[in-house]
Amino acid sequence: MVVIEKVLNKEQVSAYRQQLAQCPWGDGRQTAMGMAASVKQNHQADAQDAKVQQLANQLLARIGDTPKVVSAALPHKIFPPCFNRYSETEEYGYHVDAAIMRIPHTSEVIRSDVSMTVFLSEPEEYDGGELVISTEFGQQQIKLPAGYAVVYPSSSLHKVTAVTRGQRVAAITWMQSMVADTSLRQTLYQLDQSIQKLINANKTDRAELDNLHNVYHNLIRQFTQV
């Protein structure tokens, strides 16, 4: 589970919120599959709407331009982002994301390895609405500033608690990683982040950094599936 700071800045968040307010929304249960539909109570922006598609494409570009997302997820394919909204009493009970997802209006499918939530509402705008992820260390509750995101294994059991005041707006997407194994992907992320910190500290010999880069990229070559 990795928190990504400022995938969107304040101005971008404001623009998203203003445009989403003008878009058509529908019952979120219509997009849920299997057992998830029985525990899903929210609304989702109409993915067929041209404005919604434009916002999704803009967010896709931001995801691709955010180095920490790429480092954490090593994305090979990304599902078009969806926008959801939780008003008072709405929630999404415990569920696991579908393992295989078909990209709308195509014959292409992706394996969901990594899930991503981008928060579009500030924490003080609503009560409840925490993203709760079950991990080997127990339940982790996530409620981040607008524009921040969290990525986590799609295999995780997770839920969104009931909103008791205000409204929670967010974007969600799923990624097929070039590295399917969660623990290996985590190790590669930790190695990459350590290399980046050494580069920024500007105290490590260039030859040593080259050696670390060599190790990292050779591991990528060995374990990626593209």
CATH at residue 126: 2.60.120.620
65 is in an annotated binding site: no
Residues 35 and 125 grouped into a single domain = yes
pLDDT digits (tens, 9 = 90+) for 69-104: 999 999 999 999 999 999 999 999 999 999 999 998
Residues 159 and 59 in one domain: yes
User: Would you give the DSSP letter of residue 185?
Assistant: H
Is 95 assigned to a binding site? yes
54 and 111 share one domain: yes
**Average pLDDT of the residues in 30-41:** 80
Question: Containing domain of residue 197, as a range?
Answer: 182-223
Helix (H) or strand (E) holding 131: strand 131-135
Q: How far apart are CA 33 and CA 118, in angstroms?
A: 22
Domain boundary among 156, 177, 198: 177
Give residue-wise pLDDT tens across range 191-211.
Answer: 999 999 999 998 889 999 999
Question: CA-to-CA distance for 3 and 118, rounded, in angstroms?
Answer: 10
Count of other CB atoms within 10 angstroms of residue 151: 23
| Per-residue model confidence (pLDDT) at position 218 | 95
At 29, the pLDDT band (50, 70, 90 cuts) reads: confident
Q: Choose among 219, 157, 161: nearest CA to 191.
A: 219
CB 40 within 8 A of CB 32: yes
pTM: 0.92
Provide the domain count of the chain: 2
SS3 call for 209? helix
Three-state secondary structure readout of 22-67: CCCEEEHHHHCCHHHHHHEECEEECCCCHHHHHHHHHHHHHHHCCH
Asked if pLDDT for residue 107 goes beyond 80, the answer is: yes
pLDDT averaged over the chain? 94
Is the model's pLDDT at 30 over the cut of 90?
no
- Which whole number is the average pLDDT over 107-115? 95
Residue 97 labeled ligand binder? yes
Write out pLDDT tens, residues 133-155.
998 888 999 999 999 999 999 99
Distance CA 132, CA 141 (A): 4
Domain boundary among 177, 192, 212: 177
